[in-house]
Amino acid sequence: MILKSLVANTEVEGGRITQEFLDGFLLLMVIAGNETTRNTITVA
């Protein structure tokens, strides 16, 4: 939740980021975390 709050309150070029950008960013983080975890478990 801390990362979500930091990103949601970030200003880019003087304006807040859009909900669409925030949704895409958080989806990317979930996918990246999932893939990294699966790869780590597979190698272990």
pLDDT value of residue 3: 77
Residue owning tokens 């669409």? 20
pLDDT value of residue 39: 85
Reference 22, options 43, 5, 39, 37; nearest CA is: 5
Per-residue model confidence as pLDDT tens for the chain (44 residues): 687 788 888 888 888 888 898 889 888 888 888 888 888 888 86
pLDDT value of residue 2: 80
29 contacts 7 by C-beta, under 8 angstroms:
no
pLDDT value of residue 17: 87
